[in-house]
Amino acid sequence: MQKSNMNIITRRAFLSRSAKIGMAAGLASLVDIPFVMKRALAEGSIGINGKKILFIWLRGANDALNSVIPAADPQYATARPSLGVTADPSYTNTTGGAQIFDAGANATYGTEALGLGTGFAALHPTLKFLSHVYNAGELAMVHRVGYPRQSRSHFDSQRYWENGNPNNNIATDGIFYRAIYESGLANTAPLTGVSIQSSLPLILRGSQAAMTNLSDPTRYNLLSIPDPANAPKFDASFTAANSYPFPSKANRNLLSLQYNNLQQTLALFAQMDFTEAGNTFQDDVKTDGDVTWGGGGTGGDPSKGYFLFPTTNVKNGGWRRPDGSNVFNKYAVDPGHQSFFNNLKAAAIVLNQTGAIIAGTQLDGFDTHVNQGQVTGAHPNLNRVIGWSIYALRKFFKIYGRGGTNPMPGATTSWDDVVIVTLSEFGRTTVENSDAGTDHAEAGVMWVAGGTVKGYGRSASGYGVFNCSTNEISGAASEWRNWYNNSGTSAMFGVSNGYLRRNTDYRSVLGEIIRKHLGATQNQLNRIIPAYAITNERLLGGGVSGTDGHWIRGEVGIL
Amino acid sequence: MRPIVPVLGVSLLFTSQLCAADATSGPLGLMVDSNAVGKTVAWPRQLIPALETNKLSRGNTVGAMTEIGPLFIRNHTNGYSYSVTNTSPQMFFSLTLAQMSSNKLLTANALNRLAYGPTPDELEYVYTNAGGPQAYIDQQLQPQGISLPPAFTYTVQATNAANPIPNTNWQTISLTGLVSGVSGTQSTFYIYLTGAGSAYVDNVELRVIYTNYLETNVIASIDTNTIPPTTNYVLTNIAVGTYLGENVITNGDFELPFATGWTRQGGNFTGSDVVAPPVANGSAGALHVVATAAGVGSGNAIQQSNVRPLTNNHRAVLTFSYLPRANSWNSRVIMRLSGNGTISSDAEAPPPPTWIYVTAAGVATGTPRLYLYLDGSGEVYIDDLKLVRGRIPDVGTNLLRNGDFEAPLSTNDWNASQDFTNTVISTAYSRSGAGSLRLIATSGGGGNNDSVWQDNIFGVQNTSNYAVSFWCTVPTRSRTLTVRLSGSATPGLLQVTAPGTTPGDFTRRLETIRAPDPQSGRFNTSTIGGGSLADLRAWFVQNAVSSPRQLLEVLSQFWENHFVTQHSKSVDYLDRFYDDFNLMDKLAADWEYREMSRWRAAMLNPNCTFYDLLKVHIESPAEIVYLDSVDSKGNGNNVANENYAREILELFCMGVDNGYDQLDITAMSRAWTGWSVELVDVANIDNPFAPQSRTYGFYNGTAGISNLVGVWAFNFKSANYGTNRAPILSEWAPAASRTNLTPGGTVPPPKRYAPRLGFPWAGQPYQITLPRRTGNAGIQDGYDCAVALADNIYTAEYISVKLCRLFVHDDFPNPTTTTNLAEYAYYDYTNPNRTAEAELVRQCIVAWQTPGTDGRRGHLRSVLNTIFNSELFRSHNGSLQKVKTPLEYTVSAIRALRAANADGTFTSGTDGYSISGRPGSSSSRIPLMRMGSMSLFNRDAPDGYPEDAAPWVSAGTLAERIRYVQTYLMAVGVSAKGDNIDGGNNNISDPVALLRLKLTTPQMNDAGTVVEYFLSILYPAEGRANLDLYRLNAVDYLNRSDDGLSSSPFGTGTITPGNAAYDTRVRSMVGFLLTLQRFQEQ
């Protein structure tokens, strides 16, 4: 009883605060008091506490071993004669955080892996921007993530990551959908789950409520004939017509809700600037020590750093420097990913300016069977996108978020409110193939970043990298605690033919985020990720998985 | 004084002809206000399904009531009112609410669900035709009886596929022909080159065919060093009952030293010897033919004498492999017998050409002359060329003389000038009759005086419409055939370029999907022809829009989606063998097209059963790849892949957790081992035991399978097959369940149907026992499983449930045998109080289980008929319970405004070509993708696209639906018309043209009548009364200026038929109506 009372008080306080924020922000429609009232009986605080998730789906299976590199494992170099990246000799430094590769005025991407201060793991040089987030203690890199009875099919494995039910092809509700559904806000808040990509991913799909996907936020309006540019006639008639009563039919409520949602969100999105002209977000420091960058020719503020979202060439790092030079290696990212950054920018803006709980997008191209690239090429280019994205999102929320140094109008979200998480369906073979690429394998790596994430200096081990060390938790002998397994051989060969075996279930990572960050109760989490309710699945505390008999670690303590 | 105003009668009147309507009863409140001026009667809006009318009557006595015209009843947001100035102290009012007539409702339901939405013409026809909507339903259930317009006749061809191969690859040549030139009892066999150079030769075999034969033959030769090798040939009859004799060549495989069987004659071949070949060909030795100059045969060749007795005119096969060398580009290998004993051949006759049908319509402006020409040197065969009045190709008198090319060319009909004078009438090929036009160009033509042309065409007049049609072969590579009327260099005139890629001619594009390029025999990957996924989708959607066999089209999509396969996974698989994405795309599209064609053919059979459709699926290469049977092995210690066993139980037949468990999946998984795919000769397309094709392509590229020509077909690989061990669908012992799967264990008892199924099924066993098989006989395991599953009650139940969801409403939960789930009780057929839904499913099962006249069970037309006769389908409550999928939405929007003009064109100037992805479009930009990633033939999950509404309906997808219909309604040229970048400009409607067909001019000037007409065709299943507010809104829309700010009465001044403002006003109003919620429903 007492707890219940407290919750009500909390919610009242929230209502009051929200109304003020909403009015102040000029986005009053964000705060719909009736829907908040409607969910007053729900458990937990998902959606109420202002905590949010930004996901980036790395589709095609990221090569985790050339992302977060087990540099001290001698088999790494053996397995990867052409793809292997040599670590900077100082990676063994165990006292500091990640190395900052910063060549001062000539900052570029280097060619040696960057130590993480663990004496074992190192970052691929193209992930160098992660070092800044890592050293702030706000980045957790969870290695050896997978699930039992790993499917090596892209389709199946992506489906399992999204529906949260490995080996279940039928479940068509996504994990994030269920998390939002548990909030009680689905179908009532104008925006809850948002993806910015070609179609709504399964992770946000569900049968009881529809999330919003926008393939292109700049297209999110109605043409309103006869005058697409300015058609009060259509808009007025359309609005009126959607309020007309009709006899009840099976889907009329759904249609009505979604038409309403459409009309509400049209207004919301119309108030946000997704255009190129609106992409004015710049770093607050001369990025990566590139002190000579002056925004030359870009229209940018020369006193600031690189643009955070490189959606055009001129907004991409070292493009057209003051001296007129144009240095590819000083681009923040490969120019081929501009549309991704458009989507990422939209997701960030949506999270920052609306009440949406989860937003995200995807990055394609990780299926690197051929010519993957060592320090340049296809996979390194994708690494650069990942590294810069997480770096830039952190800066975005720290500068332009709620309480930031230069908050956007109506900013609702601070860096502490956000957890960024990446997903990728599986890892790739340890041994490179004859095409200088890697094939489908098992466990991979997840990146988790946010103001409250317990990374370097804040986690139990003091490391920001998990499951990638010789003996991460001292005194523990179980195989899941170490990179090396019990028999002293490298985990890289834990499964025949060079597959990295899972040490942690991806659901434990997502589960920890959903419970500790979003604020789900354990009961809610048991519904969001059904295996949590099955003790011998060991998702929470670890142990022998009842599904396949392997030791897994359970939640790793990233929050 | 307070007047007494009794409310005498307020009732609901139900007109019912075919079935009972759903009664809604209860008191209605008539509120009456009376004052010195008069009386006002008001009543609230009633939310009654398909409510058609509010009939108000009044009278001073109860016995003399007269109906008040609807125009006198005022329509408000919240209800209705009627005022009368009559102040008599006593007046009676009667209100009657009537639902739509059942026939009208059934018309709308049938066209909404059995078709991709109604067209204006069908609404009228189905409702008024003798027999009404029931006759339409009956007709749609017998699609074989619905004739198709000529545009829907598709020819069937065979697939060829070959990728470029490198010059380093061995090529095998096989020639069949007659032995000649033998004198005495011996022959000499020569191998030589036609010039200096070298080549490797291996596996020379000459075998006599013993047979009876009827052929006449012409000398043929093969030139091995041109690309492609050229053969001269002549068609002959095919021999029957043949067998090959032994190889008469000694040491033809060159595994023995040269001296065994061979000698070098003359000085040009002294360097030749048996050597190890530089590129593996499977044997240690090969003949290295080295020539310092050309050989000639006798005395100057590599020679084998004393070839064992051959007889003139005996048929023989010569085969050999050869490996040309880079420095021998201009010399070729010749092998022949002594004398003039060149092997003659009939084996290399090319397939008959693929005839492509091309049409165009347009307006004539020039002098009546028709030109045919190519844009460069080359040739093409043309037949059955027609020019007719009007815009419907092929219909009407052919205005051309000798357009069938049966008569010789004469200046009276066809003239050939300048670069075309070699053109002749050919009797080698014809599409019909004996002759065709072989149009031969030495250079590009251009019409007048440089073309083949016909003058003085009788009856052609300027500004009139004409349609041209013809059949042609694929022209010489990269050449374009143009057929046009004179003067048509200016826009808007009749001109057709064939075979082209413009939207107008795609309807025929699938005819060439499997056409080998006549120049090479290779699968055609040029832009000519086609057969890509985009072509397939365009063809599919075009059928959905315009086929009169609408139910067949709806069911085609249903089965394609039920038996889901994925084009891109097929491409992934083919990527093992090929480099060329276009080729992989077409091969994968071919798999999809073949299964679709087989389903359609099966459904045209009145006795089509579910097994017939399931059989298509299990044999489909696309499925075998999609669900991983392709590499599954059950032999030895291999553990078979469970994927297909799981999905055939869970998704395709019984339904998840409906009468099977994991151990049944394991047990069945071996039945699908060996089910694989292979590239086989075209003739073996239906032979699952055929060997891999050994017909080689002619191109450069990688070695391996990619240089083979053939067709990818279902192939049983007995080496992968593992015989089944335990009966499937057994009651497995809980503790030692897995041991039951091993031979020698206790045979587990059968599973039995659940009690909820009731009599006569409950308790009956349904185990599948497979005999132990070996080798090719193992293929029967799969068929045995399919037969048993198709006859399983749970299958009948699950498929019936899915069909009910398709045709009735979404809320038919999946059946289950898990007793603690609510669905178990939901489908408890022993419960006398079961829902109408459960009862309908039970009736479907009964229909399924009732043998047809052919003695088989599972007749789908019986099941469908049960659904279409059900109360749930026909009742007023049953309409509009479903939301359209993106495909249904887009196609129904096109059909809704698509009426036939007198000249055969349509008021909706699109055929759906662009909505699911045309060639060259960006997949993310096409309307079906924007509305929620409905990627036809390319579903990425084996459960198919959802039939229920929720997954499709979200704000983002609704916005795209609305944009789509608004684009559709915009006039061509409006700046936002191209919104659906890869579809908008092909997406054209003409609602005013529709009004001209259906209304009189005075009616067209009346806003109320115009709105009423569109309401009737866009929302035919919703009652008129329920649409009152839409009506008010739309009339207001018509009467406002385009900016909405001021009054601008419709039907007056500039807003009258024939001017642009009227067109804009109507377009925008119809576009507005199409964006409303009710148009999402069916």
Residue B1004's pLDDT band (cuts 50, 70, 90): very high
Q: B585 versus B355: which is more confidently predicted?
A: B585
> Do residues A109 and A369 make contact, with C-beta atoms less than 8 angstroms apart?
no
Angle between helices B610-618 and B581-603 (to 10 degrees): 160
DSSP code for B948: S
* Closest residue by Cα to residue B655 from B565, B726, B562: B562
CA distances from B857 to B102, B752, B767, B853, B854 (A): 33, 20, 18, 10, 9
pLDDT at A201 over 90: no
Taking an 8 Å cut-off on Cβ atoms, the answer to whether B975 and A222 are in contact is no
**pLDDT-wise least confident of A75-89, B69-83, B347-361:** B347-361
What's the pLDDT at B494? 45
B207 CB contacts (<8 Å, ≥6 apart)? Answer: B244, B245, B246, B247, B248, B316, B317
pLDDT at B985 over 70: no
Q: By the CB < 8 Å criterion, does B44 face chain A?
A: no
Cβ neighbours of A259 in B, within 8 Å? 958, 1077
Q: Could you report the per-residue pLDDT of B1014-1073, keeping only the tens digit for each?
A: 999 999 999 999 999 999 999 999 999 988 888 999 998 889 988 889 999 999 999 999
**pLDDT-wise least confident of A186-200, A509-523, B93-107:** A186-200
Cβ neighbours of A215 in B, within 8 Å? 924, 930, 956, 960
B475 CB contacts (<8 Å, ≥6 apart)? Answer: B374, B378, B379, B380, B481, B499, B528
Q: Write the single-letter amino acid at B382.
A: I
User: Per the structure block, which two tokens stand in for B369?
Assistant: 């002359």
Q: Which of residues 563-602 of B touch A (CB under 8 A)?
A: 566, 569
Instruction: Tell me the backbone φ, ψ of residue B302, rounded to 5 degrees.
Output: -90, 135
Q: B374 versus B785: which is more confidently predicted?
A: B785
Cβ neighbours of B1077 in A, within 8 Å? 241-242, 246, 252, 255-256, 259
Query: Edge-to-edge strands of the sheet including B263-265?
Result: B263-265, B301-307, B187-193, B333-337
> Do residues B591 and B598 make contact, with C-beta atoms less than 8 angstroms apart?
no
> Do residues A495 and A484 make contact, with C-beta atoms less than 8 angstroms apart?
no
CA angle B465, B466, B472 (to 5 degrees): 155
pLDDT at A256 over 90: no
What's the average model confidence in pLDDT over B157-180?
46
CA B1029 to CA B77: how far, in whole Å? 7
Taking an 8 Å cut-off on Cβ atoms, the answer to whether A241 and B943 are in contact is no
CA A317 to CA A290: how far, in whole Å? 9
> Do residues B436 and B382 make contact, with C-beta atoms less than 8 angstroms apart?
yes
CA B891 to CA B915: how far, in whole Å? 8
Q: By the CB < 8 Å criterion, does B981 face chain A?
A: no
**pLDDT-wise least confident of B76-90, B259-273, B823-837, B987-1001:** B76-90
pLDDT at A540 over 90: yes
User: Per the structure block, which two tokens stand in for A345?
Assistant: 């920018």
Instruction: Tell me the backbone φ, ψ of residue B321, rounded to 5 degrees.
Output: -110, 150
Å from A192 to nearest chain B CA?
12
Q: Write the single-letter amino acid at B871.
A: E
pLDDT at B161 over 60: no
What's the pLDDT at B213? 33
pLDDT over 70 percentage in chain A: 81
Mean pLDDT for chain B overall: 79
**pLDDT-wise least confident of B261-265, B739-743, B831-835:** B739-743
What's the pLDDT at B763? 96
pLDDT over 70 percentage in chain B: 77
pLDDT at A352 over 60: yes
Q: Could you report the per-residue pLDDT of B720-766, keeping only the tens digit for each?
A: 998 877 889 998 876 444 444 555 567 788 999 999 999 999 999 99
Instruction: Tell me the backbone φ, ψ of residue A544, rounded to 5 degrees.
Output: -85, 120
What's the pLDDT at B566? 93
Rg (CA), chain A: 24
Which of A248, A254, A256 comes nearest B950 by C-beta?
A254
pLDDT at B793 over 60: yes
Collapsed DSSP state (helix, strand, coil) of residue B801: helix
Residue B149's pLDDT band (cuts 50, 70, 90): low
B228 CB contacts (<8 Å, ≥6 apart)? Answer: B520, B521, B698, B699
Number of alpha carbons in the 13 Å side-chain half-sphere of residue A325: 10
| DSSP assignment of A37-100 | HHGGG-SS-TTTS--EEEEEEETT---GGGTEEETT-HHHHHH-TTT--PBPGGGG--SSSS--
pLDDT at A412 over 80: yes
pLDDT at B160 over 60: no
Rg (CA), chain B: 36
Collapsed DSSP state (helix, strand, coil) of residue A449: strand
CA B360 to CA B505: how far, in whole Å? 8
pLDDT at A472 over 70: no
Å from B829 to nearest chain A CA?
24
| Buried b or exposed e, range B970-990, using 16+ CB within 10 angstroms | bbeebebbebbebbbbbbbbb
Taking an 8 Å cut-off on Cβ atoms, the answer to whether B1026 and A207 are in contact is no
Cβ neighbours of B656 in A, within 8 Å? 170
Residue B654's pLDDT band (cuts 50, 70, 90): very high
Helix or strand (DSSP H, E) at A411? none
Question: Which of A154, A251, A354 best probes binding to B when mutated, by most B CB atoms within 10 angstroms?
Answer: A251
What's the pLDDT at B195? 74
pLDDT at B327 over 80: no
Cα of first residue to Cα of last residue in chain B, in angstroms, is: 53
pTM: 0.70
What's the pLDDT at B725? 76
CA B965 to CA A54: how far, in whole Å? 33
Number of alpha carbons in the 13 Å side-chain half-sphere of residue A515: 22
**pLDDT-wise least confident of A467-476, B579-588, B744-753, B1001-1010:** A467-476
Q: Which of residues 1026-1045 of B touch A (CB under 8 A)?
A: 1026, 1029-1030, 1033-1034, 1036-1037, 1040-1045
Greatest mean pLDDT range, A37-51, A200-214, B94-108, B200-214: B94-108
Which of B47, B932, B976 comes nearest A246 by C-beta?
B47
Which of B47, B929, B1072 comes nearest A234 by C-beta?
B1072
What's the average model confidence in pLDDT over B245-272?
88
pLDDT at A15 over 60: no
What's the pLDDT at A31? 36
CA A174 to CA A167: how far, in whole Å? 14
- What is the SS3 string spanning B684-721? HCCCCCCCCCCCECCCCCCCCHHHECCEEEEEECHHHC
Q: Closest chain A residue to B1064 measured between Cα atoms? A: A226
User: Per the structure block, which two tokens stand in for B105?
Assistant: 């409702």
Collapsed DSSP state (helix, strand, coil) of residue A447: strand
What's the average model confidence in pLDDT over B436-444?
90
Taking an 8 Å cut-off on Cβ atoms, the answer to whether A222 and B963 are in contact is yes
What pairing do the DSSP bridges indicate for beta strands A358-363 and A52-58? parallel
Which of A223, A234, A251 comes nearest B883 by C-beta?
A251
Q: B384 versus A101: which is more confidently predicted?
A: B384
Residues in chain A: 559
Taking an 8 Å cut-off on Cβ atoms, the answer to whether B941 and A155 are in contact is yes
What's the pLDDT at A186? 80
Q: B230 versus A437: which is more confidently predicted?
A: A437
> Do residues B439 and B453 make contact, with C-beta atoms less than 8 angstroms apart?
no
Taking an 8 Å cut-off on Cβ atoms, the answer to whether A227 and B650 are in contact is no
Question: Which of B835, B1077, B1078 best probes binding to A when mutated, by most A CB atoms within 10 angstroms?
Answer: B1077
What's the pLDDT at A3? 31
Cβ neighbours of B1042 in A, within 8 Å? 226-227, 233
Cβ neighbours of A250 in B, within 8 Å? 809-811, 881-882, 949
CA A393 to CA A414: how far, in whole Å? 11
CA A179 to CA A512: how far, in whole Å? 12
Q: Closest chain B residue to A236 measured between Cα atoms? A: B1044
Q: B224 versus A404: which is more confidently predicted?
A: A404
pLDDT over 90 percentage in chain B: 33
Taking an 8 Å cut-off on Cβ atoms, the answer to whether B47 and A212 are in contact is no
Collapsed DSSP state (helix, strand, coil) of residue A436: coil
What's the pLDDT at B436? 92
**pLDDT-wise least confident of A464-478, B51-65, B694-708:** B694-708
What's the pLDDT at B614? 96
Å from A323 to nearest chain B CA?
39
B280 CB contacts (<8 Å, ≥6 apart)? Answer: none
Residue A281's pLDDT band (cuts 50, 70, 90): very high
**pLDDT-wise least confident of B639-643, B707-711, B1019-1023:** B707-711
CA B405 to CA B425: how far, in whole Å? 7
What's the average model confidence in pLDDT over B113-117?
97
User: Per the structure block, which two tokens stand in for B47?
Assistant: 């939310």
pLDDT at B505 over 80: no
Q: Token pair 């300048």 is at which residue?
A: B418
> Do residues B371 and B447 make contact, with C-beta atoms less than 8 angstroms apart?
yes
Taking an 8 Å cut-off on Cβ atoms, the answer to whether A207 and B1067 are in contact is no
Taking an 8 Å cut-off on Cβ atoms, the answer to whether B1075 and A238 are in contact is yes
Å from B123 to nearest chain A CA?
23
Which of A215, A223, A259 comes nearest B930 by C-beta?
A215
Q: B160 versus B519: which is more confidently predicted?
A: B519
Instruction: Tell me the backbone φ, ψ of residue B484, rounded to 5 degrees.
Output: -150, 160
Taking an 8 Å cut-off on Cβ atoms, the answer to whether B962 and A214 are in contact is no
Taking an 8 Å cut-off on Cβ atoms, the answer to whether B1076 and A210 are in contact is no
Å from A176 to nearest chain B CA?
15
What's the pLDDT at B657? 83
| Buried b or exposed e, range B393-428, using 16+ CB within 10 angstroms | bbeeeebbebbbbbeebeeeebbbbebbeebbbbee
**pLDDT-wise least confident of A386-390, A542-546, B336-340, B745-749:** B336-340
CA B560 to CA A499: how far, in whole Å? 37
Collapsed DSSP state (helix, strand, coil) of residue B1004: helix
Cβ neighbours of A170 in B, within 8 Å? 650, 656, 943
Q: Could you report the per-residue pLDDT of A308-346, keeping only the tens digit for each?
A: 999 988 888 876 666 666 776 678 898 889 999 999 999
Q: By the CB < 8 Å criterion, does B223 face chain A?
A: no
CA angle B687, B939, B988 (to 5 degrees): 110
What's the pLDDT at B526? 32
Q: B573 versus B519: which is more confidently predicted?
A: B573
What's the average model confidence in pLDDT over A152-169?
83
Mean pLDDT for chain A overall: 82
Q: B158 versus A477: which is more confidently predicted?
A: A477
Which of B881, B958, B1072 comes nearest A250 by C-beta?
B881
Instruction: Tell me the backbone φ, ψ of residue B360, rounded to 5 degrees.
Output: -160, 155
Collapsed DSSP state (helix, strand, coil) of residue B491: coil
Q: A84 versus B500: which is more confidently predicted?
A: A84
User: Per the structure block, which two tokens stand in for B204?
Assistant: 């020379």
What's the pLDDT at B139? 92
State ipTM.
Answer: 0.71
User: Per the structure block, which two tokens stand in for B721?
Assistant: 């097959």
DSSP code for B222: E
CA angle A112, A114, A116 (to 5 degrees): 160
What's the pLDDT at B114? 97
Collapsed DSSP state (helix, strand, coil) of residue A522: helix
Q: By the CB < 8 Å criterion, does B1078 face chain A?
A: yes
pLDDT at B66 over 70: yes
Taking an 8 Å cut-off on Cβ atoms, the answer to whether B956 and A256 are in contact is no
